[in-house]
Structure 1
Amino acid sequence: MTHPLASEWNENAGSHTRIAYAGLELKELVATELNPYFRIIFNDSLNKIEEYLGNQSILSIPEIILLEVDEDGECFGLIERLKKNFMFNGLIIVLISLSNDKELKLTAMRLKVHDFYIYPFSMSDLRERLNFLVKFKLIKPKLVEISKVVDIEYSMPPGKRFMDVFISGTMILVLSPAMLAIVIAIKLGSRGPVIYKSRRVGTGYQVFDFYKFRSMRVDADKMLVELSTLNQYANANGGTKAAFVKIKDDPRVTKLGNFLRNSSLDELPQLFNILFGNMSLVGNRPLPVYEAEMLTSNEWSMRFLGPAGLTGLWQITKRGKLDMSERERKKLDNFYAQNYSFWLDLKILMKTVPALFQKEKV
């Protein structure tokens, strides 16, 4: 029996998905690679696709708009017009560009398109992404109900939970003077909140508020798109879209933030995440939503069936090393999710302290 590749996890469902495409440069490639999996309506120009969309009823509107980015940026004007029309509010919009111009990508992000691909890219990645976006659009209104009836649910072993509460509670008491000093230093060093709070995805794709001492500028999230070419995981993948983000010598980090990161003191507020039960001392790092949504294939969803943790296999093996590939990190996460135990946790905790003082600024 032949098993399907992980990258083709939902392509049979895609055969009923309609895509309205506009462009000539990549038309032949798209026709060859995507036609077997989607129903594609090809349009040679932006005017043609706008005319086509204007003739559709609410029952015949395609699920996806796939546009080639033109040199004059007229595609952005089309997107703005579509977003103003209530009939097209639910459209999935994906752009593909032959230019690596950062301004084009920034404009696309400001318009909140669903994705932006720069050619050359993997057509199988695009295929999987389009299928995921359609499926996510269908299930998003029912995510709360779905989370209550998931097939596999992680249950924290009582011994692991006891160790988490005891150690995190003790550390909070012992380290409270140091944490107070860090709070004062951050306040004096730069404007902005002391605690950086972000939405993270942990065990079973559960989303929670994740705490760290702020080590970056307050506009760090907005700068991420501009710095995407410096992502070490994307570079390791030959410049293709990467699930994880890690930037060497990140210019968004403050001077105090460099010290906090290199000593891992910025992680101390996560002791409260552990105490509240969102995380464990040892597990797979909870991911930002934009990273987690790219790890939805059968091959990699395994990492979310184990505990989310403050430290883990990734931290003690190759954290901070440039030769850490995205695939290696995923494999470490999957291994832990399948094999975690008290003794493995103890081994990881013992090796964590030396790993805290890393040499690479990543």
Structure 2
Amino acid sequence: MFNEILLLDDDRFMQKFVRNLLSKKYTVYCSSTIEEALSILEKHQIDLVITDINLKKESGITFIKEVKDNPLKSHLPIITLSAEDSSAKKIEVLDLGVDDYISKPFNPTELDIRVKNVLSRYTKHKERKRIEREERKSFKETLSYIYENKSLIGKRGFDIVFSLSLIICLLPIYLLIAIAIYIENPGPIFYVSNRIGRDYEIIPFLKFRSMKVNADQLVEGLLQKNSYSKIENLEDITPCDTMITGDEGFTVSEKVYKAQKNRTTFFKLENDPRITKVGALIRKTSLDELPQLVNVLLGQMSVVGNRPLPLYEAEQLTKDTTVERFNTPAGITGLWQIQKSVDPFMDSDKRTKLDNKYAGSRNTAMDFKLIFKTLPAMMQKEE
């Protein structure tokens, strides 16, 4: 895109000459009066002004002053092109802030070079100002973000220091657990599953493997032994006479439908046959959770927060009464994790209320309090 130049000169032959000289590189607008020149300045994005000083009925100096007095145009570079060659006049004009002064007659190549140099300086200056504006804007936005999210930023800083320190200190324990897991039940040392965290983002959730290698395949057959379930067996429910119709004409007893709909979200078993001996030990002491320090270090989780959930559990909590739990970072420990050491088989309603409570009232003091309560809570009655 060409730079745009305004030429103010009341000699039509000079207008034609300068326009023909510069139009190969620039867009040139010619004017014969100050009024006409000011109109062009308002209508176009002019990058450079070239003006004569001695106009027939007006003064080029008056035009220069009007441009420099206009806050929106004062930054424009100006070159004077005039037959006036006295040192006093040059000094007067340059003192007004004019960027260059060319006397008539002039060498066309000289004009071309001076125009190029002035525009180059102007372009660099304009770009520098743009960058400065962007930097100021970015700095203000950063300060605003820090102010508005200072608790989250402080939380993230603590997470990095805390998780990295523990990982380094616990490396020998990591190694011993890994060896024990593999000796009892050869296979992967870590168990990785997709979990749902803050704002329903998927987290690659890490744990030491505490179950047999094919544990996930056994879940469906064990659902009716779920410790969280308020209704142990749907087959025991006697259908009622009231039938309700769903999509495609499907009908079902209203009593059975409501019972199935109200089945618990969370899944847990007492005396889970899938757990290995080493798994039972590391679960009882919560050592199976140690790999989640890596999740914390990577920013996928926080030290304190709501437990990240499997997809099949999380999808059932996207309701008005439960979705609040997803408004806070997923954590290794939290209100529910502390409470379950006292009430290991609390129902899903209690668990959901604890998650919502943390999400709605979380603060730094609460986080530290929960961290200090975590160590005694690690010695659990079951998993």
* Fold equivalence (TM over 0.5): yes
Question: What is the TM-score of this pair, normalised by structure 2?
Answer: 0.52
Q: Distance in 2 between matches of 1:326 and 1:220?
A: 23
Gaps of 5+ in 1: 1-153
For 1:336, the equivalent position in structure 2 comes to 358
Alpha-carbon contact 2:341-2:379 (below 8 Å) kept: no
Q: Distance in 2 between matches of 1:192 and 1:299?
A: 41
| CA distances 1:275-301 after superposition (whole Å, capped 9, x unpaired) | 000100000000001110111111101
Q: Does the alignment pair 1:179 with 2:174?
A: yes
Report the structure number with the largest CA radius of gyration.
2
Q: Does the alignment pair 1:224 with 2:219?
A: yes
Q: Secondary structure at the match of 2:373?
A: helix
| CA distances 1:235-271 after superposition (whole Å, capped 9, x unpaired) | 3688652111111111100010000100101000000
Q: Distance in 2 between matches of 1:205 and 1:177?
A: 34
Give the AA of the match of 2:164: G
For 2:163, the equivalent position in structure 1 comes to 168
Q: CA RMSD in A?
A: 2.0
For 1:355, the equivalent position in structure 2 comes to 377
Q: Distance in 1 between matches of 2:339 and 2:284?
A: 16
Moved >4 Å (runs of 4+): 236-240
Q: Does the alignment pair 1:263 with 2:258?
A: no
Instruction: Give the total of aligned pairs.
Output: 209
Alpha-carbon contact 2:197-2:330 (below 8 Å) kept: yes
Q: Does the alignment pair 1:291 with 2:350?
A: no
Alpha-carbon contact 2:151-2:364 (below 8 Å) kept: no
For 1:121, the equivalent position in structure 2 comes to none
Give the AA of the match of 2:162: I
Alpha-carbon contact 2:305-2:330 (below 8 Å) kept: yes
Question: For residues 119-268 of structure 1, what are the structure 2 equivalents within 5 Å?
Answer: 157-235=152-230, 240-268=262-290
Q: Secondary structure at the match of 1:233?
A: coil
1:278/1:155 CA distance change after superposition, 3 Å: farther
Q: Distance in 2 between matches of 1:294 and 1:330?
A: 11
Alpha-carbon contact 1:284-1:311 (below 8 Å) kept: yes
More contact order relative to length (CA 8 Å, sep ≥ 6): 1
Question: What is the TM-score of this pair, normalised by structure 1?
Answer: 0.55
Q: Distance in 2 between matches of 1:323 and 1:172?
A: 31
For 1:302, the equivalent position in structure 2 comes to 324
Q: Does the alignment pair 1:273 with 2:264?
A: no
Match for residue 313 of structure 1 among 328, 331, 335: 335
Gaps of 5+ in 2: 1-148, 235-261
Q: Distance in 2 between matches of 1:207 and 1:224?
A: 21
1:183/1:340 CA distance change after superposition, 3 Å: same
Alpha-carbon contact 1:198-1:209 (below 8 Å) kept: yes
The Cα of 1:160 is off from its aligned counterpart by 0.6
Q: Distance in 1 between matches of 2:353 and 2:268?
A: 17
The Cα of 1:321 is off from its aligned counterpart by 2.8
Alpha-carbon contact 2:197-2:326 (below 8 Å) kept: yes
Q: Secondary structure at the match of 2:325?
A: helix
| CA distances 1:9-51 after superposition (whole Å, capped 9, x unpaired) | xxxxxxxxxxxxxxxxxxxxxxxxxxxxxxxxxxxxxxxxxxx
Q: Distance in 1 between matches of 2:369 and 2:233?
A: 34
Q: Distance in 2 between matches of 1:218 and 1:155?
A: 43
Alpha-carbon contact 1:156-1:307 (below 8 Å) kept: no
Q: Secondary structure at the match of 1:211?
A: strand
Question: For residues 52-131 of structure 1, what are the structure 2 equivalents within 5 Å?
Answer: none
| CA distances 1:165-224 after superposition (whole Å, capped 9, x unpaired) | 111000000000110111111111112100000000000000020000000011111101
Give the AA of the match of 2:377: A
